[in-house]
Amino acid sequence: MPSMSNLVISTIVFFIVAWFANRYLDEQGLPKGMTRGVMVFLVASLVSWGAGDAVDWIQVKIEGPQAAAQQPSVNISQLLKAAGQQQP
């Protein structure tokens, strides 16, 4: 299960890679368009996915597989009770 640090790091990496990719393609003289936008999106997505996976891998190496697997599970009935809602 992905952690919050995975989400934060991968989001930051996505925007950094997208900025650098756009800057590089501007320097190369590639005109802006849909193909370029999709290419930048795919590259940034793949790199951010890899960064998030690396964060999870490092977390497992530091905490161990048991600690990473013991994430609290969310039960819908507990959420409804906490919100004061009736169960359907």
Q: Tens digits of per-residue pLDDT, 2-39?
A: 678 888 999 999 999 999 999 999 999 999 999 999 99
- Cα 29 to chain center, whole Å? 30
Q: In this predicted structure, what is the pLDDT of residue 73?
A: 62
Task: Give the pLDDT score at 3.
Answer: 72
Give residue 8's identity as a one-letter amino acid code. V
Residue 2 neighbours by CB under 8 Å, 6+ apart: 52, 56
- If one compares 80 and 56, the residue with the highest pLDDT of the two is 56
Would the pLDDT of 60 be above 90? no
Pick the closest to residue 43 from 14, 23, 4 (CA basis).
14
The pTM for the full model equals 0.68
Statement: residue 45 has pLDDT above 60: yes
What whole-number distance in Å separates Cα of residue 76 and Cα of residue 34? 41
Tell me how far apart the alpha carbons of residues 49 and 2 are, in angstroms, rounded to a whole number. Answer: 11
Confidence check: pLDDT of 86 > 70: no
